Structure 1
Amino acid sequence: MDNALGDFLRARRELVTPAEVGLPPGHGLRRVPGLRREEVAMLAGISAEYYLRLEQGRDRSPSAQVIDAISAVLQLDPEGTAYLMALAAPKSRRRPAQREPRLPAGLDLLLGTINVPAFVIDQYMDVVASNALAQRLFPDMLPGVNRLRSLFLDPSSRTWYPAWDHLAAAAIAHLRARAGADTGDERLRTLIGEMSLKSETFRTLWARHDVGLASAGRVLLHHPTAGPLELLTEKFAVVGTDGLEALLLHAEPGTPTAEALDQLSSSLTQSGASSSTETA
């Protein structure tokens, strides 16, 4: 039986130490890396038996007050709390049929005319579309490529991304946040199963149950010809689609990265390269 709520609670309490919540270390060897169940229950003001039922999946509908109390003990941020609340919400037995992602015509046109690297991904991190400048910058930006697979299974990705550890953790937290409480998505289950079998790092990070929707930030890239680049990222939900996200990358004016982007853009213009926006 699926027990996403219990799995999340157990994973997150194992990441909180007694000292972080003001508890003494106690005596003897602790059998768990973080908080014990009874410690979470005590701090949240609920009975140990009730908390045990939550972790074991015997009670799947805690109140909002209980969720808030447990979230505070587990030191969840707003996104983590919202995710916990979604896991505890009543589930519909019917799931809408999945549809292939369709790129709006206006966005397709924008990708071909905008003068910055830009691409579109779906909720499984498949590249749906990308412009030529994005493809020139990143080795995993062709439509149809899954960025999780390339990030975790291609050894060269660690060379391309100097801050690979941070990027990998953020990618998994973003995937879990996008998936939400929909534990019945077979395509997502297949992807997670494949990645867990093929990558120990993915398996370890996924087991942490980190949740985080990355919006804007910075990406460090070591390009083989352009050299080290520091790109600013902007991310937007594509309204009217089934979970598509558009990402635009740019650089601070006057920086070496901005100059490198201008040179790459000029070379593409001279060669007559065009965008590739075929759906996966």
Structure 2
Amino acid sequence: MREPISSCALSPDGLSPSGERAFLKWAGGKRQLIPQLVSLLPPILPENSYFEPFLGSGALFLHLVATGLIKPTQARLSDNNEKLMAAWTDVQTKIGEVIEHLQNIAANYNHADPACYYALRDRYNTCSESGTERTALLIALNKTCFNGLYRESKKGLFNVPRGNYKNPNIVPETTLKAVHIALQGAELTTGSFEKTLDWAKPGDFVYFDPPYEPLSQSSSFRAYHKNGFNRTDQQRLAELVDQLTKRGVNVMLSNSTAPFIIQLYPQRDGLRLHRVTATRFINSNKDKRGAIQELVVTNYKINADSPKT
């Protein structure tokens, strides 16, 4: 049995000791699904790598490190959102600068004045180069925007309106420092999900958490990132899962229970479909938030007592 990583200041549920969330809230974040996902994991041996090509808030990665199921040096983390990955890299390598910028933002932010939020948003959108100031602005916007949503226009501009928070935690210092520790030795890259998996070998584990296929036409919004993620992308991903399966790479994939997705992953050639229950809060209509069934696809055998479809 592998020893937990004592140097990582994260609790087993992926939170910092103070109970704060991961440093970013992201659409489709997996924190609440951690127990169900862990029950479906394959063995991850010390010589195997862990790949997460749709990193987002990184909830599963943080949990695996916190519980000692993987070491940070096993992790290959990526996303095609350059600004997101720049933020992760800054938290990994320049945490002091990020916190200092956040403290300056918080000192001049008036929660009661909407103009303060939109001034932050304009500053973020006019940052021409990556850097710790842009990362701090991203984190601050994430804590103060509507529902913690990240969304870009076709021009790549962050366009989420202000959220209604009385006292947002703009400087989640404890969480940031804990995530900084968890990232030491991890490999962070920006790129497509195909490119980042060129080096996956038999026995490695890949967790795919792509933008979900909408369950209905009325919920067909896909453009959280300027490049979007359409059905052609979903098909490319399914083809990659097939290739990885043939290469002996262990794969877990999350998505919606939309018929299109279920058809992409037929229960053959070693694929197994499982249903898990999640609660989603991103919908702007509070009446449409609540419990929902999600799909988890695996290409390996799991314990008999794991959740089944």
TM-score interval, smaller chain:
under 0.3
Structure with larger RCO (C-alpha < 8 A, sep 6+): 2
TM (norm. structure 1) is 0.26
More helix per residue: 1
